A and B are shown apart, each in its own frame.
Chain A
Amino acid sequence: MEFHNPQQELDRFHSRLTVAGSFVLIAFGVLFARFVWLQVVQHNYYQTRAEDNRISLVPIVPNRGLIFDRNGDLLASNYSAYTLEIMPSKIKGSLKSTIDEVAKVVDVQPKDRRRFRKLMEESRNFESLPIRTRLTDEEVAKFVVNRYRFSGVDIKARLFRRYPGGGFASHVLGYMGRITDSDLDEIDDANQEANYRGTEYFGKSGLEHHYEFQLHGTTGFERIEVDAGGHAVRTLARTAPVAGNNLTLTLDAKLQGVVEKAFGNRRGALVAIEPSTGGVLAMVSMPNYDPNLFVDGISPQDWDDLNNSPDKPMLNRALNGTYPPGSTFKPYMALAALTIGKRTPEQTIFDPGYFTFGNHTFRDDKKGGHGYVDMYKSLVESCDTYYYMLANDMGIDNISSFMRKFGFGQKTGIDIDGESEGVLPSQAWKKKHFRRPEQQKWYAGETISVGIGQGYNAYTPIQMAQAVATLANNGVMYRPHLVKYITDTATGAKTYIEPKPVRTIPLRQANIDFIKNAMIGVTTEGTAARAFADAEYVSAGKTGTAQVYSLKGEKYTEGKVKQELRDHALYIGFAPADHPKIALAVVVEHGGFGAQAAAPIARQVFDYYLLGKLPSAPAAEEPKELEGD
């Protein structure tokens, strides 16, 4: 055993105390360094983190801009309502049991459950989805009392779109729906992500979509101090939202109503334009649908009904329906002939009732033919043979390059997205759109039916309306548009959509006057004379019938053909003929002859717009009087 000297022991103890003391100082030095690092060097970073913890920005969704017609009639507004919403990521237990429990407090119908399931499938993560909308005050009170029992279920006050007219002008206004991924891409592209925090709905079609970023407004924010549990403690600051801009349309709601009524339950489209501005006065696609169905999430049943209906109510026929123009093409053909010098008004042909090209016979509607026909008579009586010959003389490329100037086969640029192009046939078009070499070649025989607006011709009603408005306006073409001006809600400033001519087609006035005169003849002594009998104004127009189904040599008899194979009835026209205030194009799908089905609708429109006469019933179908439309 070692000998222990007490003094040695004490010295050792003291040296160990020194070691311990030094260790304490070093350890405290480390802590001090750590504090300097956190509180001095990194202070700004942690300051920000603490602020972020504390402050929560709660978006306040702005009121969506309103939509008015040209006379100030309200077409789209908002209402505020309570919805009961479930955030699926936050509920405890199964979704079904949660909904079952909720249903004991607030009425939940099977259709609500189905709609909720549909929303779930379409939703992004962490979204709060409505299980019930439009809660009554009593239901709100009942739920609030029971709220503690449900996590992830809450009542929200939300703004919804309201379309007071129901299906009225539905294709113009469009509809709203919950934001989807593709909507988010649009929001990103517009650099509006921040402004859409808190926004749940997005314009899906029509003006609601095209003017989405005008209508939306500026989202306001509340800076709220929150505790660690995320509960609001107090509001620190508030930036009020700015309501979206209001749209005032060129559309005349009353006229639109007259048109919708005139169609009755027939399918088709009508576009009426103010020729001197391009402002759209009426744009109707029938049947329409009720956009209110979409406002708080459409039920699967309604969705299926709309999508599976053979009438295709969701299709905007005015912009996306493409139809052969039929005989409404003839005034432009005649004008082309005058312009490029292929015909003079006086030149006369003999129509035996058919035209033979190679070994193919093209028939005229009138048995035995129209006899001797000059240009005026060719339009008034709608003689096909005249135009078979003319088309053959002009050639397809002459026709298409002239028609292109009137906008046929091109998007008009109207302020609704997704417009169709249609087809303006030409050699180049055929080459581009067909794959096999024998199909790519243009055959001279194909030109002949193009002359009467058949063949490959396919245009949208908006194109036809733009073309007739341009003709009415003596070749000065405007872009059709629906919005007259946008009102800034914050300042009240109005931004007018200035009508600027797209182009002025180089035409001789004498030629235009001749064509217009012949179109007046159509309404006074021609195919539309019956429809316009006793009119208190002079209008110009042209009827048309577009073949849907090719009858191989048989005589077309209406009663024998199934309704969906019946011809489309068309009418283009403008009035008053000398100073046109309104130009329109009408298509009645499977309506038969244009003179019968389409012209009477045009008559009611003109009667109302020029004279203020309200029709009492849908436009009657005129009995067929003249052969050849």
Chain B
Amino acid sequence: MIYQWRPRQLWQALVAPIDGPLMALAACILTVAVIVIASASPNRVDNELINIAVALVVMRVVAQLPPQRLMHLAPPIYIAGIMLLIAVALFGDVSKGARRWLNLGFMRLQPSEFMKIAMPLMLAWYFQKRETMIGLRDYAVAAAILLVPTALIARQPDLGTAVLVFAAGCYVIFFAGLPWKIIFTMLLGAVAAAPLGWSFLHDYQRARILTMLDPQKDPLGRGFHIIQSTIAIGSGGIFGKGWGQGTQAQLEFIPERHTDFIFAVISEEFGLIGNIVLLVLYALLIGRGLMIAANAPTLFSRLMAAAVTLIFFTYAFVNMGMVSGILPVVGVPLPFISYGGTALVTLFLGIGILMSIDKHRMLVQK
């Protein structure tokens, strides 16, 4: 067969697995990201564009994979993830007091990041295997699958990632149908055990919670981040100070202003209007994700789609909550916007999975 140059068909083949609405929403949010990073940290824009390109390639590749293939990959990925986490605990590099990185010589790997996807993948795989006969014993097994890596990550310590991984797992179990009775019993138990849990927290974690409750207590130390970010948000007002005009951001009063605290920059420069736009974009993205989940054909794809979507929500809610001072400071980036390649790749891996589930729906039904 002679190869014929037919750009139109090529383009169609390229975009075939891509979901229009999801892509459009992601593109809007990425545009916001580039605009804000150009203000908060102009010399990182080029790198961010490269990160975006890499993440989109990952998304496109994953979108092409049938959910079936993904499902089969779940156990090896999960087990590899657990082994890497153990390796980190044994040989990992220490940075800023935490052992999170594995140095492979040619690159540094943060295995906990992969767990954000590997965890729901594994649990969805498990529930799919046990479909039609899911009982209490299965929830116990699921809990074990959930808690081992969560504990390993929390030990590093990396509370932000542990929270996300734990949440991802919980979502799968929740959607798998964990009875409400058990859910409420566990919630009550958790509230009752909170004081006990307090004693297991690291000093820095306790300090973060105390700081959230009263940032003024230590205004130049731990409270500084949160005080400065709330000042940035509040001083932004309804319409914001304008792009590049945020004094809190430009004069470096906001710490981590291109990564975890980038939301403060958005709030300061674009005001309440900007925040509403962002909330609406996230809400639409989540809505589209839940729609895909609702229409997904298999238990695995339903659970996967719903969990991935709620991970996006968790990122967004925890990050905006901590920057605006209603949640403790944990290292959770603003999804699709905070600068950094790893998080972006993970998030677009999730988008790719959603697209894959949506596009392969018809095939399964056929």
Query: A47 touching B135 by the CB < 8 A rule?
Result: no
Given contacts A17-B294, A20-B290, A20-B310, contact A38 B253 (CB under 8 A): no
Query: A39 touching B283 by the CB < 8 A rule?
Result: no
When distances are taken between beta carbons in the complex, the residues of chain A under 8 Å from B321 are 31, 34
A626 within 8 A of partner (CB): no
Given contacts A28-B282, A39-B267, A39-B275, contact A21 B233 (CB under 8 A): no
Closest partner residue, chain B, to A27 (CB atom): B317
Stretch at the interface among A2-10, A86-94, A374-382, A383-391: A2-10
Q: Smallest CB–CB gap between A13 and chain B, Å?
A: 6
Query: B237 touching A13 by the CB < 8 A rule?
Result: no
Q: Smallest CB–CB gap between B350 and chain A, Å?
A: 16
Q: Smallest CB–CB gap between A54 and chain B, Å?
A: 5
Closest partner residue, chain B, to A25 (CB atom): B283
When distances are taken between beta carbons in the complex, the residues of chain B under 8 Å from A27 are 313, 317
A47→B238 CA distance, assembly (Å): 12
Residue in A13, A20, A45, A228 whose beta carbon sits within 8 Å of that of B302 in the complex? A13
Query: A39 touching B237 by the CB < 8 A rule?
Result: yes
Closest partner residue, chain B, to A33 (CB atom): B326
Residues 309-331 of chain B: 1 if any A CB is under 8 Å from the residue's CB, otherwise 0?
A: 01001000100110011100000
A53→B134 CA distance, assembly (Å): 58
Given contacts A31-B279, A35-B324, contact A9 B233 (CB under 8 A): no
Query: B251 touching A233 by the CB < 8 A rule?
Result: yes
When distances are taken between beta carbons in the complex, the residues of chain B under 8 Å from A16 are 174-175, 177, 306
Residue in A4, A12, A21, A39 whose beta carbon sits within 8 Å of that of B272 in the complex? A39
A25→B279 CA distance, assembly (Å): 10
Q: Smallest CB–CB gap between A589 and chain B, Å?
A: 60
When distances are taken between beta carbons in the complex, the residues of chain B under 8 Å from A9 are 177, 299
Query: A4 touching B134 by the CB < 8 A rule?
Result: yes
A226 within 8 A of partner (CB): yes
Closest partner residue, chain A, to B293 (CB atom): A17
When distances are taken between beta carbons in the complex, the residues of chain A under 8 Å from B302 are 13
Query: B313 touching A24 by the CB < 8 A rule?
Result: yes
Residues 557-601 of chain A: 1 if any B CB is under 8 Å from the residue's CB, otherwise 0?
A: 000000000000000000000000000000000000000000000
Query: A28 touching B279 by the CB < 8 A rule?
Result: yes
Q: How many residues of B contact A (CB 8 A)?
A: 48
When distances are taken between beta carbons in the complex, the residues of chain A under 8 Å from B230 are 38, 46
When distances are taken between beta carbons in the complex, the residues of chain B under 8 Å from A2 are 135
Query: B279 touching A32 by the CB < 8 A rule?
Result: yes
Residue in B175, B231, B326 whose beta carbon sits within 8 Å of that of A46 in the complex? B231
A42→B272 CA distance, assembly (Å): 12
Closest partner residue, chain A, to B247 (CB atom): A54
When distances are taken between beta carbons in the complex, the residues of chain A under 8 Å from B294 are 13-14, 17
Q: Which residues of chain A (103-124) have a CB below 8 Å from chain B?
A: none
B235 within 8 A of partner (CB): yes
Query: A31 touching B247 by the CB < 8 A rule?
Result: no
Q: Smallest CB–CB gap between A45 and chain B, Å?
A: 7
A40 within 8 A of partner (CB): yes
Closest partner residue, chain B, to A28 (CB atom): B279
A227 within 8 A of partner (CB): yes
Residues 280-299 of chain B: 1 if any A CB is under 8 Å from the residue's CB, otherwise 0?
A: 00110011001001100001
When distances are taken between beta carbons in the complex, the residues of chain A under 8 Å from B253 are 53-54, 227-228
B133 within 8 A of partner (CB): yes
B345 within 8 A of partner (CB): no
Q: Smallest CB–CB gap between B180 and chain A, Å?
A: 10
Query: B235 touching A47 by the CB < 8 A rule?
Result: yes
Query: B251 touching A225 by the CB < 8 A rule?
Result: yes
Query: A50 touching B235 by the CB < 8 A rule?
Result: yes
Closest partner residue, chain A, to B294 (CB atom): A17
B186 within 8 A of partner (CB): no
A27→B276 CA distance, assembly (Å): 14
Given contacts A14-B294, A16-B175, A35-B267, contact A21 B287 (CB under 8 A): yes
When distances are taken between beta carbons in the complex, the residues of chain B under 8 Å from A43 are 234-235, 237-238
Query: B290 touching A49 by the CB < 8 A rule?
Result: no
B132 within 8 A of partner (CB): yes
A233→B228 CA distance, assembly (Å): 19
A497 within 8 A of partner (CB): no
Closest partner residue, chain A, to B291 (CB atom): A17
Given contacts A25-B283, A35-B233, A39-B275, contact A6 B251 (CB under 8 A): no
Residue in A14, A42, A227 whose beta carbon sits within 8 Å of that of B252 in the complex? A227
When distances are taken between beta carbons in the complex, the residues of chain B under 8 Å from A1 are 133, 135
Q: Which residues of chain B (232-275) have a CB below 8 Å from chain A?
A: 232-238, 247-248, 251-253, 267, 271-272, 275
Show 6 A/B contacts (Cβ-Cβ < 8 Å), sorted by A: A13-B306, A21-B290, A35-B267, A39-B237, A42-B234, A50-B235
10 A-B pairs with the lowest CB-CB distances in the bound complex, closest first: A46-B234, A50-B235, A38-B234, A227-B251, A4-B132, A46-B235, A39-B272, A228-B252, A54-B247, A228-B253
B: residues with CB less than 8 A from A are 131-135, 171, 174-175, 177, 228, 230-238, 247-248, 251-253, 267, 271-272, 275-276, 279, 282-283, 286-287, 290, 293-294, 299, 302, 306, 310, 313, 317, 320-321, 324-326
Known: A20-B290, A34-B326, A40-B238. 13 other contacts (CB 8 A): A13-B294, A17-B175, A32-B279, A35-B324, A38-B233, A42-B234, A46-B233, A46-B234, A46-B235, A49-B235, A50-B247, A53-B247, A233-B251
